[in-house]
Amino acid sequence: MKESFQAGLMDDVFILKLIQKGDKQAFKYLFDSFFAALCRFLRIYVGDHSVAEEIALDVFTAVWEKRESLEIKISWKAYLFRAARNRAFNYIRDNDRFVFVSDWSLHDKTEIDHSLELKELEHLIQEAVYTLPDLCRDIFRRSRMDHQTNKEIAGELNISVKYVEAQITKALKLIKKYLGDSYHYLW
């Protein structure tokens, strides 16, 4: 597992070096690898497919324009998803209308605060799920979102129940790590 992480990190560094040198094939590879996933991810925030595509294109445009000074600290995946999330937040901030607090009753404000907090938590969890490795994400979704049993998942994917259990445990640990200390009460 550690070796595959290091190999992935070395691939990210290699792609970064190529892109920094202006290699269009490396950039196309990066674009083809992540564009569709970023669009799906952004739709969670903005709710509109065309806006999500526009924001994803902006992310890749910024990568190309800033390629010479770009630094990737963890992975391309982490960098691109964080950049996409930040741009989605900017879009929401710039396109939502303002509502004055004085227009709310105390009860409405409390309900809205809880609703917004739950919505943000759902977004963070979905974001964390998107960052999981493909098979791990698939197993986690089948278990937690499709409510399949571990045995059903194992049967459909032709893997052992123990492997399913291990992947769910891995997913939960990675999601917990992604959410950080702010949501420690969930675990």
Dig out the tokens for 88 from the structure.
């989605």
Cβ contacts of 123 within 8 Å, gap of 6 or more: 44, 45
The fold of the 108-187 domain, in CATH, is: Arc Repressor Mutant, subunit A (1.10.10)
Task: Give me the tens of pLDDT residue by residue for the chain, a chain 187 residues long.
Answer: 334 333 444 577 888 888 889 889 999 998 998 898 888 888 888 888 899 999 999 999 999 998 888 887 767 888 888 889 889 888 888 876 444 444 444 444 444 444 556 677 777 788 888 889 999 999 999 998 889 999 999 999 999 999 999 999 999 888 888 877 655 545 5
DSSP state string for 21-54: TT-HHHHHHHHHHHHHHHHHHHHHHH--HHHHHH
Contact 30, 76 (CB under 8 A): yes
Q: What is the pTM of this model?
A: 0.50
In this structure, which long-range contacts are made by residues 23-32, counting pairs with CB atoms below 8 Å and at least 24 apart in sequence? Answer: 27/60, 27/63, 27/64, 27/67, 30/60, 30/63, 30/76, 31/60
Domain boundaries, given as residue ranges, for the chain: 1-97, 108-187
Cβ contacts of 62 within 8 Å, gap of 6 or more: 83
Contact 129, 140 (CB under 8 A): yes
CATH tag for 1-97 (out of 1.10.1740.10, 1.10.1200.10, 3.10.20.70, 3.30.565.10):
1.10.1740.10
Q: Is 146 helix (H, G, I), strand (E, B) or coil?
A: coil
